[in-house]
A and B are shown apart, each in its own frame.
Chain A
Amino acid sequence: MRFGLSIFTAVRHVKIRDAMTRSCFSSSPGQGLDRAILFRMLGAANIVMPVLAVLIFSTSLASAQNGTPAPRPEDESSAMQLLTDKGLHDIENESWNAYGQFTYISSWKPSFDAPYTNLNGSINSLLPTAERSFTGTATLYLGLRLWKGAEAYLVPELISEQPFSQLRGLGGAIQNFELQKGGATVPQVYRSRLFLKQTIGLGGESIVEESGPLQLGTHYDSRRLVFVAGNFTILDFFDTNAFDVDPRQGFLGLGFMTYAAYDFASDARGYSYGGIGEFHWDDWAVRYGRITPPKQPNQLPVDFRLLKYYGDQVEVEHKHKIGEQEGMIRVLAYRNRENMGRFSDAIAAFDATPQENATTCTGFNYGSQNSGAPDLCWARKPNVKEGIGGFAEQYIGHDIGVFGRGMYSDGKTEVYAYTSTDRSATVGVLAKGSSWSRPKDLTGIGENLGWISNIHAKYLGMGGVDGFVGDGAITAGSERSLDMFYSANLGKVYWLTGDYQHITNPGFNAARGPVNVFTVRVHGEF
């Protein structure tokens, strides 16, 4: 079987935030980054941090005020607000709502230097020729209150897309978070979400939840239990975006969606079936979720045997204030049990029997033609993948915030759903245009860094491929992408974005690149 095509998931309307906790990288040196990688990371940080510092301090000096940008300001234009204005709808205590969006993203990649591409029949190189990529999506968010505390949501979505190089050759630096594995230029309609959410109030303060996509306008107790069951993306509830910024208005890079190393169980589009439980106690929240993985890595069919194969995650969240500025810290850990291959097992199988190579697979594989390379198809069996990460966001002024996130995954097994990255770190700054009298404009700059484990690098160096990367050879290095954008609001409900990304060591291969990507995005909401 051949891997039909891929790239990842544009899940969500969700939001962004990030954090990198150094401790999770330095606490386990045995499995962690080697010194060279650590130095490269620090080197990258040396370049990025001054830029960030200039941007942070310049904007915070320009607007040293307090406050949190509301997710949906009262002047927000929407059909729900229009009905409310005419006395036909209660947007603060909704029994139903409907929102929609459309987004078109066009990216262009000039040619770049690469001493080799798809060496010896390996197939997962980012092509060095100039390429154009695009995505077009349209989404309808429907919400309904069924009974006290019960909300149901249905989200049909349409997507048309064309990735760079068939979505091959990049780890967490994939330039457009909307891209999905298995997508096509012919528009496809699918159901992205259908779930039930039950909230049980336990007292405390009354918290206003404003009307929006996947959220009925209502009041919640600050102390409450929440249960969710159905079809959703785990990113609707875990590691939601920093500062409530819709990714379709914010950073375009996939690495800014969530931890690039968070290989959360999901189908090829990024969605799962399962259940989630949340416990909120004022500024604290704890959540746990179990969700379905795909039957084969990075494919659409779902394995519903939730007692045999699953993705478990737990997250602890705390909101705080430093001075008058709000912030949040989260820690997330995940553990997946899936039918996946370990790199060491694939290498051992090839070393013991060279006939068990990438061209002789009898099970699911990605179609590599490298007969001198090991392949994960010979190593797939029930295995466990684990990771832990941290996130922090902090407002530092009026409508200005910084964020960072980092995750360490064990790096022993193949990518099953998200990106090939084994360890990741992201830092960035987001600012609204309040300081220059354009409060609905949004700008940001951030750096996304990703690494692979030593055994992963060895496997790729032998010519192996995983779901996304594998040039046939490798000079292992950290994959880095600098992402900067400006999103201008036009006519209240439209945004026009210009974005530039500079990707170094694409596919964790220091022998190739760097790559420049220029992107334009048009986004509308109703």
Chain B
Amino acid sequence: MASFKPHRSCARLLLAGLALFSFQPSLAHAQQQPAGFAVERFYQSAPGGGWFIMDDLNISGRLGGAISLTSGYARNPLVITDPDSKQKLAVVSQEAFVDIGGAVTYNRFRAYIDFPMPLSVTGTSGTLGSYQFTAPSVSLGTTPDTISDFRIGVDTRLLGEPGSRLRLGAGAQVIFPSGDRADYVTDARYRAMFRFLAAGDAGPYTYAGQLGVHVRPLNDAPVPGSPNGSEFLYGISGGRRFAGPTGWRFVAGPEIYGETAFNQFFSGKTGTEALLTGRLEQTGEARNLRIKLGVGHALVQNFGAAQWRVVFGVELFGHK
């Protein structure tokens, strides 16, 4: 009988070991799984706005309108770094989209609607700290008809005439939740943006800028690399015009834009990106065409500010 004692001790040790072993997976299960959010911070200007992000505020004439088609590819728009181990995880490593919008203009006012459609959103799943990230797996085959967070907006030119040295305006837009958070294409919450806009032309040079507020209810802190509530929007662009034949012209110049969360004002959650753009455009009162190309790189890489990106756009616009 005495010989049972060591056996019992061994059994207790074994049970304790098993218990510890069995608890470990449960601890792993206790890891939080971020739900995803709208990773893109490439908030385009309204159809007919001229620049990719900024707005030239050349809104004029009687009834007019614009149709735009923009497509782009972003590399590493969401790379998360573990604050302890400095390990990096590209939760969203590739993103391709097409975006179709339409605008109606009258006098100095513009109303528009815009439909982003993801073509591909993919990345790498993994664990960082206590968070288990699941990468999106979006393709045209798996989600053939997704519209992600479409928006409706209005812009107005408040001061200055089209082509003048200084034009001031304002814009507002509502972003409607659409799509699946796990695909990193939506916050699944209504959002809004309010922007003060400026633009002007001086000889062959042209510029534009914006300051604004992005009302973003989603605050996923402390999940690393996630939205932290409402954001401050900023951006500036400048370029030179080169006259071409038969009313065509070419405009080249950079756009620099970004956002930072008010909760961590320029101390975190800030993403800033520079886009070198060129556009070939024909402007006048009849139907006009604009073809745009941009190549960008993150200046401050955070979610939505891609390591690099390429965008292409076509706009048809005009007014009576």
In the docked arrangement, what's the CA distance between A189 and B143, Å? 12
Q: Are A88 and B141 in contact (CB under 8 A)?
A: no
| Interfacial chain A residues near B100, Cβ < 8 Å | 154, 194
Binding-face segment, A43-51, A112-120, A267-275, A395-403: A267-275
Q: Are A142 and B63 in contact (CB under 8 A)?
A: no
Q: Are B145 and A231 in contact (CB under 8 A)?
A: yes
Q: Are A191 and B141 in contact (CB under 8 A)?
A: no
| Interfacial chain A residues near B117, Cβ < 8 Å | 191
Q: Are B140 and A300 in contact (CB under 8 A)?
A: no
| Interfacial chain B residues near A231, Cβ < 8 Å | 144-145
Q: Are B150 and A88 in contact (CB under 8 A)?
A: no
In the docked arrangement, what's the CA distance between A156 and B102, Å? 13
| Interfacial chain A residues near B102, Cβ < 8 Å | 98, 142
Q: Are A301 and B142 in contact (CB under 8 A)?
A: yes
Q: Are A269 and B145 in contact (CB under 8 A)?
A: yes
Which of chain A's residues has its CB closest to B69's CB? A152
Q: Are A88 and B63 in contact (CB under 8 A)?
A: yes
Q: Are B150 and A304 in contact (CB under 8 A)?
A: no
Answer whether A88 and B320 are a contact pair too, CB < 8 Å, given A96-B67, A189-B150, A191-B117: yes
Mark contacts of A55-76 with chain B using CB atoms, 8 A cut-off: 1 yes-contact digit, 0 otherwise. Answer: 0000000000000000000000
Mark contacts of A84-115 with chain B using CB atoms, 8 A cut-off: 1 yes-contact digit, 0 otherwise. Answer: 00001100000110100000000000000000
- Give residues 24-38 of B contacting A (CB, 8 Å): none
Q: Are A301 and B145 in contact (CB under 8 A)?
A: no
B127 at interface, CB cutoff 8 A: no
Q: Are B63 and A304 in contact (CB under 8 A)?
A: no
Which of chain A's residues has its CB closest to B102's CB? A142
What distance in Å separates the Cβ of A342 from its nearest Cβ neighbour in chain B? Answer: 25
In the docked arrangement, what's the CA distance between A295 and B141, Å? 8
Interface residue count on the B side (C-beta < 8 Å): 23
Q: Which of B62, B176, B316 contacts A189 (CB 8 A)?
A: B176
In the docked arrangement, what's the CA distance between A398 and B67, Å? 42
B65 at interface, CB cutoff 8 A: yes
Answer whether A156 and B147 are a contact pair too, CB < 8 Å, given A191-B117, A302-B141: yes
| Interfacial chain A residues near B141, Cβ < 8 Å | 295, 301-304
In the docked arrangement, what's the CA distance between A2 and B100, Å? 35
Q: Are A191 and B320 in contact (CB under 8 A)?
A: no
| Interfacial chain B residues near A89, Cβ < 8 Å | 63
Which secondary structure dominates where chain B touches chain A?
Answer: loop
B287 at interface, CB cutoff 8 A: yes
| Interfacial chain A residues near B190, Cβ < 8 Å | none
In this complex, the interface size class of chain A, counting residues with CB under 8 Å from chain B, is 20 to 34
Q: Which of B63, B142, B150, B287 contacts A95 (CB 8 A)?
A: B287
B132 at interface, CB cutoff 8 A: no
Mark contacts of B114-144 with chain A using CB atoms, 8 A cut-off: 1 yes-contact digit, 0 otherwise. Answer: 0101000000000000000000000011111
Q: Are A271 and B145 in contact (CB under 8 A)?
A: yes
What distance in Å separates the Cβ of A8 from its nearest Cβ neighbour in chain B? Answer: 15
Q: Are A267 and B145 in contact (CB under 8 A)?
A: yes
B178 at interface, CB cutoff 8 A: yes
What distance in Å separates the Cβ of A301 from its nearest Cβ neighbour in chain B? Answer: 5
Mark contacts of A182-220 with chain B using CB atoms, 8 A cut-off: 1 yes-contact digit, 0 otherwise. Answer: 000000111110100000000000000000000000000
In the docked arrangement, what's the CA distance between A299 and B305, Å? 34
What distance in Å separates the Cβ of A93 from its nearest Cβ neighbour in chain B? Answer: 14
In the docked arrangement, what's the CA distance between A140 and B114, Å? 12
B146 at interface, CB cutoff 8 A: yes
Q: Are A190 and B67 in contact (CB under 8 A)?
A: no
What distance in Å separates the Cβ of B318 from its nearest Cβ neighbour in chain A? Answer: 9
A144 at interface, CB cutoff 8 A: yes
Answer whether A190 and B316 are a contact pair too, CB < 8 Å, given A142-B102, A304-B140: no
A42 at interface, CB cutoff 8 A: no
A306 at interface, CB cutoff 8 A: no
A493 at interface, CB cutoff 8 A: no
What distance in Å separates the Cβ of A137 from its nearest Cβ neighbour in chain B? Answer: 14
A490 at interface, CB cutoff 8 A: no
Mark contacts of B41-71 with chain A using CB atoms, 8 A cut-off: 1 yes-contact digit, 0 otherwise. Answer: 0000000000000000000001101010000
| Interfacial chain A residues near B176, Cβ < 8 Å | 189
| Interfacial chain A residues near B320, Cβ < 8 Å | 88
| Interfacial chain B residues near A189, Cβ < 8 Å | 147, 150, 176, 178
Answer whether A302 and B63 are a contact pair too, CB < 8 Å, given A189-B176, A191-B146: no
| Interfacial chain B residues near A267, Cβ < 8 Å | 144-145
In the docked arrangement, what's the CA distance between A204 and B140, Å? 41
What distance in Å separates the Cβ of B319 from its nearest Cβ neighbour in chain A? Answer: 10
In the docked arrangement, what's the CA distance between A258 and B158, Å? 53
A348 at interface, CB cutoff 8 A: no
What distance in Å separates the Cβ of B118 from its nearest Cβ neighbour in chain A? Answer: 11
A53 at interface, CB cutoff 8 A: no
Q: Are A96 and B145 in contact (CB under 8 A)?
A: no
Answer whether A191 and B145 are a contact pair too, CB < 8 Å, given A95-B287, A154-B100, A302-B140: yes
| Interfacial chain B residues near A83, Cβ < 8 Å | 63
Which of A146, A189, A273, A304 has the most B CB atoms < 10 Å from its CB? Answer: A189
Q: Are B144 and A300 in contact (CB under 8 A)?
A: yes
In the docked arrangement, what's the CA distance between A96 and B63, Å? 13
Interchain Cβ contacts under 8 Å between A and B, 11 examples: A88-B320, A142-B102, A146-B316, A156-B115, A189-B147, A191-B117, A191-B145, A267-B145, A269-B145, A300-B144, A302-B141
Known: A271-B144, A301-B144. 20 other contacts (CB 8 A): A83-B63, A96-B65, A154-B100, A154-B115, A188-B178, A189-B176, A189-B178, A190-B145, A190-B147, A191-B117, A191-B146, A192-B145, A194-B100, A231-B144, A231-B145, A269-B145, A271-B145, A273-B144, A303-B141, A304-B141
B residues with CB within 8 A of A: 62-63, 65, 67, 100, 102, 113, 115, 117, 140-147, 150, 176, 178, 287, 316, 320
A residues with CB within 8 A of B: 83, 88-89, 95-96, 98, 140, 142, 144, 146, 154, 156, 188-192, 194, 231, 267, 269, 271, 273, 295, 300-304
Q: Which 8 A-B pairs have the closest CB atoms?
A: A189-B178, A190-B145, A302-B144, A88-B63, A301-B142, A191-B145, A189-B147, A191-B147
